[in-house]
Structure 1
Amino acid sequence: MTTTTPVSAPTSTRGRTGSWLALLVAGFFEVGYALSVNGSEGFTHPLWSTVAIVFFLFTLFFLSVALKRIDVGIGYAVWAGIGAVGAALLGPVFFDETLTLVKAFWLAVIIGGVVWLKLSDRATPYSS
């Protein structure tokens, strides 16, 4: 009688897509968290503070789901990038903030970096 040791199956495309979707959701909750923390004014406004806590819990949950299949360095950078860009774009909408051309340029650089990070996270490396 022979026994075989199970071999890990390669990461499925579906699993990786789900992880990236979870990371995107985590990024949206991160934007909400950043904006609501600002609105809470140091956690002195109960409604904004409650919303911040809820968004914080959701962003951490979805980030942890995403990091099951995405490298932590890539996942964290993308998550932080989504949060930074989203907060910078929506800050002027909800608060008395400005978005200058210089800020917009550097936000575009962040977006480009996030896109390249996503493209660099392949299930299988290129072979020549």
Structure 2
Amino acid sequence: MTTTNQNHQGSGRAWLMLLLAGAFEIGYALSVGGSQAFTVLSWSIAAFIFFLLTLYFLSTALRTIDVGIGYAVWAGIGSVGAAVLGSVLLDQPLTLVQAFWLAVIIAGVVWLKLADSVKLQEQVG
């Protein structure tokens, strides 16, 4: 396997780790909300577990992905996911204006990923 292939696979694995970190961040945010200021034991334990998982997967992803890009994507996934799932699962209101700005965050995350792909292509070429 060539170095270029290895770099591409490493980058793909890092992005997968970042997506998992984002998913666990959503779980953490929802668990913290359900814990009612850490007074409900089951939700508090879930929040602690999600917290550890999100930090582990984020730190693994940031070995390969630039910190600024990785952190922005992770925060975007967590923000959008918590807002959408909070609306669906916890009956929290989500207005049209909030949905618009969440869409802007999603567009920014996609743009950051595309920018990282361009950077990878420049390294290969």
TM, length-normalised to structure 1: 0.88
The alpha carbon displacement at 1:123 in A equals 1.4
| Whole-Å separation in 1 of the counterparts to 2:115 and 2:91 | 37
Q: Structure 1, unaligned stretches of length 5 or more?
A: 1-8
2:107 aligned residue (102, 109, 112):
112
The alpha carbon displacement at 1:44 in A equals 0.3
Residue aligned with 2:120, SS: coil
* Alignment-derived partner of residue 76 in structure 2: 81
| Whole-Å separation in 1 of the counterparts to 2:75 and 2:87 | 19
1:12 aligned residue (7, 31, 45):
7
2:92 aligned residue (89, 97, 117):
97
Q: Percent identity?
A: 63
- Residue 106 (structure 2) pairs with residue 125 (structure 1): no
| Whole-Å separation in 2 of the counterparts to 1:92 and 1:73 | 28
- 1:27-66 matches, within 5 Å, as 27-66=22-61
Residue aligned with 2:84, SS: helix
* Alignment-derived partner of residue 64 in structure 2: 69
Q: Structure 2, unaligned stretches of length 5 or more?
A: none
CA RMSD of superposed structures (Å): 1.6
TM, length-normalised to structure 2: 0.90
The alpha carbon displacement at 1:93 in A equals 2.0
Q: Which runs of 4+ in 1 moved over 2 A?
A: none
Amino acid at match of 2:65: I
Greater shift, 49-58 or 90-99, is seen at 90-99
| Whole-Å separation in 1 of the counterparts to 2:17 and 2:46 | 20
